[in-house]
Structure formats: structure tokens, C-alpha cells
Structure 1
Amino acid sequence: MEHGGEALINGVRFHSDTVVVKATKEKNKIVVVDDVDHEEYDYVDRDRFDLDVVLSRIPFVRGWWNYLEGIVKWKIIVIAISIIIIALEFIDNLWIQRIEVWAYVFFTILIVGAVLLFRFTAIAKYHAAEHMVSNCAIQGLDLTFENVRKQSRIHTDCGTNLFTFALISFLVLSLIPGVQEFHFFLKLCLSWSIGYELFLMKHTYIKPIYLIGYGMQYAIFTSKPNKEHLKVAILAFKRLQKRQGEIDNR
């Protein structure tokens, strides 16, 4: 079963193409919820046009689309970025430079904030638990505590690897004559799209870049989980398997 996941401050979230499951630890109790409405799947037209499917198949477009899907209020973000890019065409170079400086500062603060969030909350432990459960499931093993705890907390499909590819793409674009003159947000879009394509390739000659992502996962964005963190992730994935199986068998 194809799936994805993410860590929360007090739990994990797993998803397939049709199901989203969230498990959280609340007051010494694990709460597992999903978004399945079986009546909805009785009326699904699986042959209907799906914009998400179409865009997800277009190289370089799918990278930015993937990013937008992860933003809850993506429409507002797209409109805001579009307004900024258009506005830059009507103001002088001095203001453009100032805006780009603040953009760099903002994204630097964002990255530092993310690192601090992972290091000083339980999210790094849940992130590791999410990876370990996913690795166990990919190998076709039973999701027992013993099997899960033996798994690596590093995952090939982790968003940290995608971020690494995007960051390196951004740095390379910033060094190319002509391209380095592009607006910050345009370079950001291009670097994310290129990074996403590299992330999907998984060829051996880009393995060194993966090693950077793996190192960041291990040292910064995950930490050794305890039994409770693993239990939360296991329950979440088992619910995902159950709900997806129910839908597939309808």
C-alpha cells in the first residue's frame, strides 16, 4: 500500500490516496481518528477528471503542486506570492533588493524555527516512530513492537531529502549568470520543482545528496523514540491499513 506520513507535536499522521489517519497521545491516552465516510465511496466516480492526478504527472509542475498541496490555505499563499511577483515589476531596483533581503531573512528564520521545534519538542521522536513504522510496513513485516523498534529511523521518502534537493538546486541556480538575477520567489519555485524531480529519480549518482538528507534526518529531525511513541505510530498505521482494506473491498 502506497502511503505517506508526517509527525505531529503529540502524534503522527499517515495517509493513502483515499484515507487519512491521525493518532495522538492525549492525557495518557492514545486517540486514533480517520476521515473515512463509507457512504462517500459508494458514489465515487473513479473515471472522473482529477486535476491532482493530471498535475502530478507533469514533470517540474508536479513538484510545485506537491508543495502547494501541503499548505492548508494554499490559495491564499499562491495569491500572495503572485501579487508580490507582479508588484516587483513596478517598483525600483532598490526596493526589489530590500524585499529579497527580507525574504532571505524570513526563510532563514523559518528553517531555524523548524530545527528548534524538532529539537525541543517530542516531534522528533514521533518523526522517528513514523519512519520506523513505515519502513517496517514497506518490508512486509508485521507491525509488532519488536519488528518496528529494529527499523531505521531514516527514510528514503522523507521530506527532509526533498528539502535538501530543493536547497541545493536553489544554491546552484543562485550561482548561474542570468538566473541569479531572477526574483527570489521565481528562483524558489524553480528550485523546488527541480529538487522534486531529482527527489523522484533516486539514481545512484545522486546518492551523495541523499546522504546529506539522511544525516540531517538522523542528527536534527529525528531522535530515538520510546515505546509510547512507537505505539502511537503503530496504531495509526494499523488503522490506515484497516480502513484502506475496507474501501478496496467495497
Structure 2
Amino acid sequence: MSKQQPPTYGGQALIEGVMFGSKNHTVTAIRRKDDSLDYFYVPKEQKPISTKLKKIPFVRGIVALVESAGIGSRHLTFANERYDVMPGEEVEPSEEETSKLGMIIGVAAIGVLSFLFGKFVFTLVPVFLAQMLEFMAPGKTAQILLESFFKLALLLIYISLISMTPLIKRVFKYHGAEHKVINTYENGLPLTVENVQSQSRLHYRCGSSFLLFTVIVGMFIYFFVPYDPFWLRIVNRILLIPVVIGVSFEVLQFTNGLRNIPVLKYLGYPGLWLQLLTTKEPDDDQVQVAIASFNKLLEIEEQGIENVEILKSTDAVVHQNTATVN
């Protein structure tokens, strides 16, 4: 009898909170202004088309990213609108202002479009920068290497600049708390603050690693497509965006599968190095929020969403988080 694979969980850092997701559910816990916790739940709808596409290598990554952008935007909106508001003072949209379906579609669309816009800028700006310096680095190989250098530099500069703001610094701490909770669960330890804090804030499946892999994978893919004329290079870069995303996703999954194998585990280290910028060591209070979010997700998976109270604006922090994960 084959051994059943344990469920895989992912997450996302938010303003004053953490979202965790499984195959069918996503849950957010945020710290409110009065130091209480508030929860938000969004189901993952298993549509037949997306379910089939997720089984196709190099295509499943694109589907997963689009889905994550849509769902993640809803959790971000929830956190942004409530973290600095006292419970009971929230301004809820009326039916006249927007329908529930319209709001969901709108927020999801914004998330997807924001991701695509950022990807276009991140892809095309380095091409123009490299072209401007063609007199110093002529030829296809030199141009692709220079383009990749600018792409990596832009990524590092962007992360470094936003990490200087107090708000993003706290988000990066919650990002570290998210990874620590996942590592605690995957190592089979009880979800206590002490255990979680003892874990690494880095994780092989992190989206930060994925971003770095798009730079590396894109560089190799560009060697196999036409380089001249310049307009064709631009067209190629645009058309290859889904290809780079799909291949990078597979590389991310591949390196995650090798993380416990000596020597081969180092293939994922470049992504972990980037996480040194996108994660920070969290405070105990932030770890408590992450634990609460993950415990709520486990509770939903065990009991079903219909049996779990999820939206509780005055749910105090439970300091004795003793859920054991085997």
C-alpha cells in the first residue's frame, strides 16, 4: 500500500496578519486595533476546468498563480480595511453600492491585473536598459546576460526600498511567522510559540523564491528565441511570460522536492537567499497570530466550515496554542 502524501499548505503575509490555504480552504487571522483577532474565510472553488489544468505540467503554475492572485486580493482587502479599525466601527458596503458577486469579481480582477502589470514592467524595463547599453555589451549572449542582471537588480532594489517602510517591515515579519508555522507543521511539532520560533523563517516553496527563479529561467529560455530585430525581442519577451512562469513554477516544485537530499538541496538556495530580504524574524505576538490562523484552517479541515465559527471580531488571542500536528 502506498503511503498517503500529507496535505500541503501555503500562506501569505498580510498587514497585521497571515493567510493560510489548503486545497479547498483559505483563512486569514489579523490583529485588530484593540489587540483582538479577527478571521476571514474564502473557499477555493474546485472548478472542473481549473482542476484539469492543474494536472498539466507547465500550465498548472499559471493557473495556480492566477487563482492565488484573485483569492489573495480578497484577503488583503479584508486585512487592509479592518486591522486599524476598532471592532464595531467597520464600514460595510451596502447592497446599493455593490453586489457580493460584483465585489468578488472586482477584487479578484484587480489582483490578477496587478500581478500581470507588475510582470510586464519587470520583464520589459530590463530589455530597454540592456538595449541602451548595447554599445558596451553587443551580441545576443551579452545582451541577455545584461538584461538578466538588470532584472535581478531591479528586484533587489525594489524589495530593499519597500522594506525600509515600517508597514512593510511588519509585513515581512508576518512573512517570517508564516514560514515558521509551516516549517513547524511539516516537522511534526506542536504549534506552540516556542516551537515555531525555533524554526527557520525560510521555506523552499515561497513566492520570493519563485520570483528569483523567473529571472534565472527566463535567462536560459531567451537563448532559444530570436534576438533581432529589437521589436521582435520585445514581442518574444511578452509572449514568453506565461512560459517563464510555467517553467519557473516547475523548478520551484522540483527544488522543494530535493530540499532533504544532500548536495541537491543547494539548488534551492538562491531562492532562500532572496528570502533573507523578504522575511524578518517575527515577534511572539506575530507568531501567535500566525498560529491562530493555521489552527483555524486545521479546524475547518477537520470539522467542516459549517461547524466552525470564523468571523469573530472579538476573538482574543489564545496564548496556549496546543494543537499537535502529526
Instruction: Normalising by structure 1, report the TM-score.
Output: 0.75
For the 8 Å contact 1:135–1:152, the answer to whether it is kept is yes
Q: Give the match's secondary structure for 2:39.
A: strand
Q: Is it true that 1:117 corresponds to 2:162 in the alignment? A: yes
- Structure 2 CA distance for aligned equivalents of residues 158 and 55 of structure 1: 22
| Identity score, percent | 26
Q: CA deviation at 1:209?
A: 3.8
Q: Which has the higher helix share?
A: 1
Q: CA deviation at 1:68?
A: 1.6
- Structure 1 CA distance for aligned equivalents of residues 57 and 162 of structure 2: 32
Give the root-mean-square deviation of aligned CA atoms.
3.5
Q: Give the match's secondary structure for 2:182.
A: helix
Aligned residue in 2 for 1:31: 37
Q: Give the match's secondary structure for 2:191.
A: coil
Q: CA deviation at 1:9?
A: 2.2
Aligned residue in 1 for 2:9: 3
* From 79, 94, 101, the counterpart of 2:128: 101
Q: Is it true that 1:66 corresponds to 2:64 in the alignment? A: yes
Q: Give the match's secondary structure for 2:36.
A: strand
- Structure 2 CA distance for aligned equivalents of residues 166 and 13 of structure 1: 24
| Pair 149,191 (structure 1): closer, same or farther in 2 beyond 3 Å | same
Aligned length: 224
Instruction: Encode CA deviations 1:177-214: one digit per residue, 9 max, x unaligned.
Output: 52783522222221111111111223467644411111
User: Which amino acid in structure 2 is aligned with residue 117 of structure 1?
Assistant: I
User: Which amino acid in structure 2 is aligned with residue 152 of structure 1?
Assistant: S
For the 8 Å contact 1:148–1:230, the answer to whether it is kept is yes
Instruction: Encode CA deviations 1:96-149: one digit per residue, 9 max, x unaligned.
Output: x99x639x9999867744443344320110000000011111122111111111
Aligned residue in 1 for 2:19: 13
Aligned residue in 1 for 2:252: 199
- Structure 1 CA distance for aligned equivalents of residues 249 and 302 of structure 2: 30
1:1-250 to structure 2, matched below 5 A, reads 1-35=7-41, 50-72=48-70, 73-74=108-109, 77=113, 101=128, 112-120=157-165, 121=168, 122-178=170-226, 181=233, 182-202=235-255, 203=258, 207-218=265-276, 220-247=277-304
User: Which amino acid in structure 2 is aligned with residue 221 of structure 1?
Assistant: T
For the 8 Å contact 1:13–1:21, the answer to whether it is kept is yes
| Pair 186,212 (structure 1): closer, same or farther in 2 beyond 3 Å | same
User: Which amino acid in structure 2 is aligned with residue 54 of structure 1?
Assistant: K
Q: CA deviation at 1:215?
A: 0.9
Higher relative contact order (CA 8 A, sep 6+): 1
For the 8 Å contact 2:225–2:236, the answer to whether it is kept is no
For the 8 Å contact 1:68–1:74, the answer to whether it is kept is no
For the 8 Å contact 2:204–2:252, the answer to whether it is kept is no
Instruction: Normalising by structure 2, report the TM-score.
Output: 0.59
| Pair 61,154 (structure 1): closer, same or farther in 2 beyond 3 Å | same
Q: Give the match's secondary structure for 1:189.
A: helix
For the 8 Å contact 2:58–2:249, the answer to whether it is kept is yes
- Structure 2 CA distance for aligned equivalents of residues 22 and 197 of structure 1: 27
User: Which amino acid in structure 1 is aligned with residue 39 of structure 2?
Assistant: V
Q: Give the match's secondary structure for 1:27.
A: coil
- Of 6-15 and 108-117, deviating more is 108-117
